[in-house]
Structure 1
Amino acid sequence: MRTLWMRLGMALVTGFLLLVLLAFGTAWAAGGGSSSLAAVVSGWTGGREIAPPRAEPQQGQAGTSIQAYKTAEGFWTHVITYDWSLKKTVSPDALTLARGESGEVAYTITATRQIAAEEERTGVRGSICVTNTGEVATEGLAITDVVEFKNPPVVTDWTPFLTVTVDVSEKPALNPGESHCYPYEIPFTPLESVTQYRNHAIVTILNHSGHLGEPFGPEPKEGFSLPEHPTLVEVDASATVEDVEHCPANFICTPSETGPWTFHDSGFVSFHKTITDENACELTAELHNLATLTESDTHETRTAEAVVHLTAPPCPVGCVLTQGFWKTHPDAWKVHHPEDPFFSSGKTWMEVLWTAPKGDAYYILAHQYIAAALNAASGASMPAEVQMAFDQATAWFNTHNPGVPAASPDGQTAIHLAEILAAFNEGRMGVPHCEDVAAGPASPMKKGGQRPETPPGLEKRQATPPGLEKRPENPPGNPPEQRPETPPGQEHRPSTPPGQGKGKGK
């Protein structure tokens, strides 16, 4: 009986062992090794998980090794992002300039700054630096960064709450002995009542010695804390403005470059530019000035342009001579015979020229008016300003007679017009002075480019001005003994006619 019970017990033990072996074999076949065994063991009530052992290096394959360290700094920033706008104006925006004339324009550049966005940011930033300490290049480099926290006594272990992947595209593989640092920034909202944070990096490669084909590598850790107060960060708080001009051909623009200017807030700058018609005739052009604003941080740009429209009238032609020439060369007159009456002066054109002004604005203006009229008739073109002054002088003579004091209001008007006409007659208004005085303004060129020695129409010029050949020796009513030695009104005429001193008789 005893033997029977012993046999029965051995049979039960044997059956149990067979069941265990069957379960073990099934798990091994399904999971492929010792790791499945660990999973099976952990399924037992009261059992504990057994970590899988590290894989042994595969024979015949070479790997490499890496080291890593990291930095971590908590941040709390108050970020203000600015946006800029740009405006540019010019006054006047149009100029008419004859050749040799200059004009001035005024530019104003206005830069306006305004808040585009405002926010607060908290988080952690730093770098993860990796060095290849092996003899072959790394493969499959990857970095995972984990933000962890503790909050004793509630949470006593480091607990992850935010995981990100660090960008390694800047340097995806490291050659033997090579190092590189990968920056990261992880924004997050602070956890309530938590003051202890840690940053945990997991750096892996796929060809680590001893772990070929699987991610493996170091896991550097670094603690950090968040600041108690935010730091103000301003994005694009300032901007720089440069101005570039595109001066058209045949014009000179000065100054040619202006700026740069730096703005730390909204503001404006003004500057002037002088434009000179160097050699432009009968054309229109545009002066473009382009201002460019560059924001300090994002380097975004804004542009604004102002355009000045330029008009160059037809260039003057011919040349000019002063009233001193015309009073002594009546045969060169193309219009207005010397004996024609000059408006309501009671004198002829020639007599007016030979009348000394003696402070009379009428004759001061008349001398320059006659010279301008004769110059124009001989082919010298009048610039717009001169033509306007000539037309105003014509209207003035229609309403005035001799005897206008130079200091009177009407006399000052006449003096001003005379100054403009004198500048024209003296070659200071764009039309040059005739170089060959003997030839005069209307003398055609000889073949070969030389002027004739005597102007046309003067070859047979009489020594006595026309109309004076038969002048009686004694004016009617004057006895012979009272005949003046000089023509009436010229008793005090200097030996050199007015306007011809120092070469001005040309």
Structure 2
Amino acid sequence: MRYWHAVLLAAGLLGACSQAPQGVKPQVAVGASVTVEKTAVPEFKRTYRWTMEKKVTDPAGGTLTLASGQSYLVKYAVSLVGTPTDSDFKVKGTVAIKNTGAVDVVLQTPSDTLSTGESLTLNCGVTFPYTLPAGQTLSCTYSQSLPNGQSRTNTATVSWNSGGESGTASAQASFAFTAPTEVVDGSVTVQDPSATLASAISGITPEGVISQTYFFERWVKFDQCGEYQVDNTATFTTSTTQTQGSASATVKVSVPCAGGCTLTQGYWKTHSRYGPAPYDSIWAKLGEDTSFYLSGQSYYQVLWTSPSGGNAYYILAHQYIAAKLNLLKGAATTPAVDAAMAWAEGFFGTYKPSDSLSKTLANQAKSYAATLDSYNNGLIGPGPCSE
């Protein structure tokens, strides 16, 4: 019995001794082992060259015929194009050579090459052959200029030996020149001293060719007859180098000295003191609020009353009022226009808008209205003003 007790005790002691202490991992002996890790960071500069074009969009032909004192809103389009040029291509990064084994290794000079054939110079801070202790890392850096923006793969390789063992280790990293690390003149500001900038140009995203169009407006008016030229110049300034450029557009304006020109009822409706367009002072010679014959309305009210149902009274009244204002503005007349105006004045002195007109009388009123409409639109008489 004592014998078996001793055997069991000895077995227990041996079992206890064969177990590793809790929390301590048994070490596993390994040979030589080397790994490589690398990065490749592309860099390049994008420089924009800007061009500007300015043109008149209204009037389309770039010429105007205006009556004395008439205002006209000239409209311009300014087109900007930013064309990029990429340069200063470079790749930089790190190469980490790690001894992941349990013994020292001897490293030969590492190489770093690109898929397009270029060799990169590594700065490792040591002389090769170099002994890299077990568990240690050798960090190398590189920075290389490149001839173009072609995408590439970068491969770093190192040969090593340790005792009777030898081998190579390598790593790759691909890169492409997509987003510039430096942007020169990536946006512009625009000024036009003689015009109102309808849309500001700023904060343009520097991606590829930039093409944008913006619009300017300005009122032109001349109180004296003659021939005029309105020059308008827009200027841009780039954001980085403060480079400037400009583009100009010209409008030729004629204000007839003899005979003048005529304006439509649509012009006179909107250019009274009630707006919305700039006031034409010719209205003051007639008076927007002056009573219009027997209508019970003012000149302004009659002009804005729709001739519903083909009401001959208002059809004639609209053209008569416009013609009256054109004559007051100095537009030359014709015998047919004079006859139509005289007949209209007799008509308005006799009838009201609500009066029932015979078919013959209504047709006659519309016929004279057609004559005055031709006059106001410039089909007869001195010709039309630009509106």
TM-score (normalised: structure 1) = 0.31
Which entry has the higher C-alpha Rg, 1 or 2? 1
TM-score (normalised: structure 2) = 0.39
* Higher RCO, 1 vs 2 (CA within 8 Å, ≥6 residues apart): 2
